[in-house]
Chains A and B, each alone.
Chain A
């Protein structure tokens, strides 16, 4: 079983606050780390796909970093807005070198609530 852990489980912030979450994953057989945004009553949608150690990706106020050697990724949201309220999921994609080839394993998610 591939352990993909996210913290915290939930987070309440005020509008305008900046926040960040953590995703930890196995440092072996790494192929890619994905971040998804999941709004209530919708399906998850991809934010970032990261493959290289040291990768930094940005989309508007949201950015992510990747450390494959130590097995963690951070997602940052700058100046949170109520519309950022959602569950944020990370997912680990194992490479062809192991028995988990092609397996996309999700963490349990961080539920973000941004209060006006």
Chain B
């Protein structure tokens, strides 16, 4: 059981380049999230999804797009990378609301360290 897997683990981009981060979960979770972690700022929500085919904006969505074409995958795209997007990106997934409070904890991937130069 792999849990939540993020690809790639590290990446260096030049300003203006594009890339896609892949998050895959094998726990049949409904909800998936993308966060960025910056020093002193905890985890800030970029986009999230409450089910296959649905996405919603989080706190810091500008410059990012997402897609949830399959339940197990949540893709985060950077169309034109900027140095301000240098960060560590975490994906998480959980069961949906209504499945019992013990089931709603979020499980995290190992993170993707992205540097934009």
Listed in ascending order, the chain A residues whose CB lies under 8 Å from chain B are 1, 6, 9, 31-32, 34, 36, 43-46, 49-51, 89, 91, 93, 95-96, 101-109
The reply to whether B40 and A106 contact each other, CB–CB distance below 8 Å, is no
Number of A-B pairs, beta carbon distance below 8 Å: 69
The reply to whether A104 and B106 contact each other, CB–CB distance below 8 Å, is yes
Instruction: Tell me which of A1, A44, A95, A108 contacts B108 (CB under 8 A).
Output: A44
CB contacts (< 8 Å) of B31 on chain A: these are: 102, 104
Given that A43-B110, A46-B106, A102-B56 are contacting pairs, would A32 and B45 also be in contact in the complex, using a CB cutoff of 8 Å? no
Q: Indicate whether B77 reaches chain A with its CB closer than 8 angstroms.
A: no
Given contacts A43-B108, A103-B58, A105-B59, 16 further A-B contacts (CB under 8 A): A1-B59, A34-B104, A34-B106, A43-B90, A43-B110, A45-B108, A49-B102, A51-B101, A89-B42, A93-B97, A96-B97, A102-B48, A104-B92, A104-B106, A105-B45, A106-B43
Given that A102-B50, A103-B56, A108-B42 are contacting pairs, would A32 and B101 also be in contact in the complex, using a CB cutoff of 8 Å? yes
